[in-house]
Amino acid sequence: MQVPYPASILGNQKERTDSKINIVEGLISIPFLASILYYDIKEKKIPDLFTYSGMLVILIVRLLQGYFSPWYLIDAFVGFSLIWLFFIFSKGRIGLGDAKLSAFISIIVGVWAWALAIFFASFSGLLFILVMIKLQKMTTKESIPFAPFLVLGGVISFLLKVKIEAFINSIINGI
């Protein structure tokens, strides 16, 4: 059994191997992600306009290309839910805008690559904070915009998603 692209949890999407479509989706995502970065760094807020419209555009592109699946919405739900739980348990130290951005990234790269994106985002964010504290540029009481780290993790995962999917397929085929 081969996991279709993107590696959705339960999806039964038509398998995609055309790298041109991947590149188009990546290029389409750039203005949305750039706007998200700008607003999160400047105002520590991610406007819903950018996350929702970005998700909608990617889903419409997939629909027009003939490989839309409702399971992409499950990917988005998973991407949103984990960060939403952090929002609840951290008492708002991470924002719901970050949860919506996480859903957007999950739609773009698929849930398996999204998990790697979250790892890279968390690791790079933590490293940044530790360096800033060590340099006495911030204190442990301050917060930072998390979108830059989520986008960095998403970009890394986007670039590695073919290898991630091959790895997941090898695990599934080995079962």
Instruction: Quickly list H helices, 67-110.
Output: 71-89, 96-109
Nearest to 147 by CA among 75, 42, 59: 42
Q: What is the pLDDT of residue 167?
A: 81
Tens-digit pLDDT string for the chain (175 aa): 333 444 444 343 444 445 666 788 889 999 999 999 999 999 999 999 999 999 999 999 989 988 888 889 999 999 999 999 999 998 878 889 999 999 999 999 988 889 999 999 999 999 999 999 999 999 888 888 999 999 999 999 998 887 777 787 788 887 6
How far is it, in rounded angstroms, from Cα 171 to Cα 154? Answer: 23
Provide the whole-model pTM. 0.84
How far is it, in rounded angstroms, from Cα 88 to Cα 66? Answer: 37
